[in-house]
Structure 1
Amino acid sequence: MDNASANNSALGYLKRHLRSWKDLLCDGDYLQLRCCAHVLNLIVNEGIKEMKDSFEAIRSAVRYIRSSPSHSLRFKTWAEAEKINTKSLVCLDVSTRWNSTYLMLEAAMKFQKVFERMHDEDDDCISYFSSSTSSSRREASSFARREHDGTRCDQDNFSGPVIDDWNNAQIFIKFLKVFYDITLKFSSSLSILANECFHQIARVQKMLQRNITNNANSFLREMSTSMQVKYDKYWDQAENMNPLLFVAVILDPRYKLAYVNHMFDLLYVDAKVSLIMKERVKDCLYRSFNEYSAGVSIDSGTASTSTAGATSLPSFDDDDGGGGEEDPGYKWLESMKQRTSTDPQTELDRYIATDPRDEIPSAAEFDILL
């Protein structure tokens, strides 16, 4: 997934071979669907780079706490002295997994006062971070070297957390919480997700655009700008998005096609791109419907023929004393049958034309499979 061109080449090779089986929906044009959770991971990791120093400072402090049982015990004692009521302590992240970094920062923020007290009262802490004998400790660097105003000293390549680091972490946790919740939705294995993915992708895009244009915080603005570049690579252009993601939303009776078209107008500043997306999604919707309909018609043709006699309406003869007039109810049913057969609208057209408001159940009652 990191290398989009390589991924496209692999899918192209696979489609060429699968087409020979003559069993691909829409000739395999919609075979490739990128993992939304993985794309989101790439987007967030791009933003994390902008705050690497602050994260590394907090990570080094957490690593010190977890480096020995005595450090952990002292840390717990100071937490009790600061009246911090929590059963869990700090956790160390896996640097390649941003969601674990989020959990590390969220846990560490609760103990900011304890980390500051540790710097003032723990001699082992100062010697640990000042030591240059261990490569791992050289990476962690020193708690002791800091400026009084809470900013990082220029001579420190790595240092323990200062006030700016905690402020950055607090902003970032609030920002990252949205991505963490969306990742949990994308990764769920106990619920239907296809009709929810587009809502979350649109949510990410609107949040990034708002931060870039309206946010006064420079860190958050720079981070959102970096993330927007990665977002655009995978989700901004029509050719990069599998239209089945939108078809799934259209088949949710609460939204249908009007909602998807509305969101395209909101998300894409360029009206031409919005129009291309609308046409591409509608084309995918009708192509898929037509192929499925053709398959159903072939499968059900024999059964319909065999049961036609049993389900046909009764005829009326002249000898019933009615002067040769057919039953009016029968005539109406026949006219309706004839009109339905010549009606250019398909079942899909009628579904789209129905007002979604007529079908909206409460959120607690809604089940996409029912």
Structure 2
Amino acid sequence: MGDASDTEHLTTETTPTLQTNKRRRKKSLVWEHFTIEAASGGCTRACCKLCKQTFAYSSGSKVAGTSHLKRHIVLGSCPKLKMEKKQLALTSGLKADGEATEQPLKRRYRSNLNALFDHELSCENLAKMIILHEYPLHMVEQPAVMAFVHSLQPRFKMPSYSEIDGEILAIYHKEKQNLMQVFGTYTGRISLTIGLWTTSQTLGYVCLTGQFIDSDWKLHRRMLNFMMVSSPHSENALSEVIGISLSEWNMKSKLFTITLDNNCSSHDIYSANLRDYLSNKNMLVLKGQLFVVRCYAHILNVIAQDVIASIHGIIYNIRESVKFVKVSPAREEKFADIALQLEIPSTKSLSLDVAIQWNTTYHMLVAALEYKQPFTVLESLDENYNEAPTPEDWKKVEIVCTYLKLLYDSANVVMATADPTANIFFQEAWKIQLELTNGIASEDVIVSTTAKDMHEKFDKYWRDCSLVLAIAVVMDPRFKMKLVEFSFSKLYGEDAAGYIKLVDDSIHELYLEYVNQPLALTPAYEQQGGEANIIGEADNGTNDNEVIRPLTPSTTTSAGDGLLDFDIYISEMAVNHSSKSELEQYLEEALVPRIQEFDILNWWKLNTIKYPTLSKMARDVLSIPMSMVNSGSSIFGPGTGSRVLDEYRSSLRPEIVEALFCAKDWLQCLPTMTEPPPSNAIVKMEF
């Protein structure tokens, strides 16, 4: 191994036969100044071409790296390089006014490593680091930070607070222009989410985020504005912010829906007549019936917190009981012995909850339920323990856990999808609505009371959002109208037909609005001369992308065989068949099999040519943000509610706060900064 390693690192000057070596060539710029020489013991050393000093490079299979070699060249440790620089300075001379004279056209030795330093790029990267990692801006004036940066690159001049402030604003404006260009060429509609941020003062911020699906059927979510308002909960605050944002982004004609969290009242929007204004200008689809959407994660959180609060006294006793057992190993062992004697089959372990995460409270209650007998026995054996819940308390906990499981399972389905599209929420929502409706009719008073309290708030969500939820699931080829019909029949019984008709009428009306929009010709359509009728195949669901042209007398090859009437008959049949709309063809075709790996966006991407108009409608509907929880965030906590801006950010100017929040969101969507693209590369998003 040692001899082979030595041979690999010999210079081409001493061993020209090594030019055929297939190993990757060294790309570091230091090898313009160093050669590799073999040393004793299977080692190699790097030799400076100028001063002939040697440095450790490899020992067997271990390579020392090139950092120490760079320092030798860049920091001027090489005596020969120092001397040449001094001579160069003397020979070049200075003009009388102090400006340096023109440098020689050629230098014998030039450090490419020094030429790589770009002060402007370094300042920009520093600003991006502050944005992405939420560092305080004044870090640039901290002595320790300045010393550290100076040790890395003495030539870098640390920007002042005001300079880094300007650098951040420049990045914000640059990225904003890029995003505005994207939206300017985007032909679909964009749905907004509205979130509130509060401060320790009476001021607040409104965060607007746009969600859309691009022409490659990828789901995107981009922050648009983070605007300060003097009274975030005032009657017209949201309306004013939404109006300003729509005008700023030239998005009034592209607005589809607005999703609000639990702290945003739809009354704010209605009272300012924003909805009516946009509807009258024909800017909203279905006359604004889909305009306001409620956050699904929020309604789950609100109901879960309410049902937990309904038994807060019992939960307190259980929490204290768990603490009592887990506070000492001796008590845990004693409790385990009691459970063993009672032959408790549980495999769960007692755990404490985090109050603001209702799923942890649910897990605590579920585990404690299985040990209700050991807790009762422990109370009779240990005089220091007197927190055991009563049998009636345990019954309430059991019923509460039954309904919490319903919410918990639904939340997990939503969280399991990295980028949830609107179609997945209907199935979750109608199941909860059905279980709560059935629970109200229970003869058990505790069950009916618990279900009634939960149903009161969820039913309002269902009434507000069931139409948009249903339209979204119709765009799922695995369900279409069939799931709507099935679920409504269970929910509404004899009255189901009226609710089903409402959904069917709405989706046909929405489709007609898209039909009346100008349709850009697809490449396949253009190849047919722009006159081909794009129709679906038979209901067997095969050959999704087939384009069939109806026969006409002019296209027949046997016009003189006496079958002209037959040709006309075939043509009329084709015309009659193609008179069905894309929506009707889609709804009549067989359902796509339900498989776990089904990708609805990819399905629509593959069927865009077959359904050119309906696919545009599906793209807008599926991009509606039914939940405001971002990818990677927990759906079980208050993260989607009114959040609080920390003291430092609250002290900054509103424009820099907006720049920090928005720029962070936009930069995170760009390629990683650890491996920047080549300087001549153009990074862009295509639609």
- Fold shared per TM-score above 0.5: yes
TM norm structure 2? 0.40
Q: Which of 212, 225, 243 does residue 452 from structure 2 map onto?
A: 225
- 1:283 and 1:202 map into 2 onto residues whose CA distance is 20
Q: Which of 368, 376, 379 does residue 108 from structure 1 map onto?
A: 368
Distance 1:27 1:326, change over 3 A: same
Distance 1:290 1:66, change over 3 A: farther
AA partner of residue 241 (structure 1): C
Q: Which residue of 2 is the match for residue 140 of structure 1?
A: none
- 2:438 and 2:314 map into 1 onto residues whose CA distance is 24
Q: Deviations over 1:192-228 (max 9, x none)?
A: 6633422222222222222222x22222221112112
Distance 1:262 1:163, change over 3 A: closer
Query: Does residue 94 of structure 1 match 2:354?
Result: yes
Q: Which residue of 1 is the match for residue 440 of structure 2?
A: 212
AA partner of residue 27 (structure 1): L
Q: Which residue of 1 is the match for residue 174 of structure 2?
A: none
Q: Which of 551, 566, 581 does residue 346 from structure 1 map onto?
A: 581
5+ long unaligned stretches in structure 2: 1-193, 197-231, 257-282, 533-548, 604-687
Q: Which residue of 1 is the match for residue 467 of structure 2?
A: 243
% identical equivalent positions: 26
| Larger CA deviation: 215-224 vs 282-291 | 282-291
Query: Does residue 164 of structure 1 match 2:392?
Result: yes
Q: Which of 294, 297, 303 does residue 43 from structure 1 map onto?
A: 303
Q: Which residue of 1 is the match for residue 653 of structure 2?
A: none
Is the 1:2–1:42 contact (alpha carbons within 8 Å) kept by the matching residues of 2?
no
Q: Which of 20, 24, 48 does residue 255 from structure 2 map onto?
A: 24
- Indicate the SS of the match to 1:95: coil
Is the 1:48–1:223 contact (alpha carbons within 8 Å) kept by the matching residues of 2?
no
Which aligned pairs between 1:211-290 and structure 2 lie closer than 5 A? 211-213=439-441, 215-235=442-462, 237=463, 240-241=464-465, 243-257=467-481, 259-261=483-485, 263-264=487-488, 266-268=490-492, 275=498, 278-279=501-502, 281-282=503-504, 284-290=506-512
- 2:440 and 2:346 map into 1 onto residues whose CA distance is 36
Q: Which residue of 2 is the match for residue 52 of structure 1?
A: 312
- 1:330 and 1:14 map into 2 onto residues whose CA distance is 62
Is the 1:254–1:359 contact (alpha carbons within 8 Å) kept by the matching residues of 2?
yes
- 1:83 and 1:68 map into 2 onto residues whose CA distance is 23
Is the 1:195–1:245 contact (alpha carbons within 8 Å) kept by the matching residues of 2?
yes
AA partner of residue 256 (structure 1): K
AA partner of residue 285 (structure 1): I
| Larger CA deviation: 243-252 vs 62-71 | 62-71
Length, aligned pairs only = 322
5+ long unaligned stretches in structure 1: 127-142, 144-158
**Once the 2 structures are TM-superposed, how far is the Cα of residue 10 of structure 1 from its aligned partner?**
6.8
Q: Which residue of 2 is the match for residue 308 of structure 1?
A: 529
- 2:327 and 2:501 map into 1 onto residues whose CA distance is 55
AA partner of residue 224 (structure 1): A
AA partner of residue 60 (structure 1): E
Structure ID, larger Rg = 2
Q: Deviations over 1:69-127 (max 9, x none)?
A: 4443443344444444556520112233332222111111222232223222334x33x
| Larger CA deviation: 178-187 vs 74-83 | 74-83
Q: Deviations over 1:258-296 (max 9, x none)?
A: 54256446535896x9847843x3455235434555668
Q: Which residue of 1 is the match for residue 628 of structure 2?
A: none
**Once the 2 structures are TM-superposed, how far is the Cα of residue 246 of structure 1 from its aligned partner?**
0.7
Structure richer in helix, relative to its length = 1
Query: Does residue 188 of structure 1 match 2:188?
Result: no
Q: Which of 393, 402, 414 does residue 174 from structure 1 map onto?
A: 402
- Indicate the SS of the match to 2:254: coil
Distance 1:265 1:189, change over 3 A: closer
Structure richer in strand, relative to its length = 2
Is the 1:46–1:230 contact (alpha carbons within 8 Å) kept by the matching residues of 2?
no
Distance 1:9 1:207, change over 3 A: farther
AA partner of residue 203 (structure 1): K
- 1:178 and 1:360 map into 2 onto residues whose CA distance is 27
AA partner of residue 460 (structure 2): K
Q: Which of 410, 424, 429 does residue 201 from structure 1 map onto?
A: 429
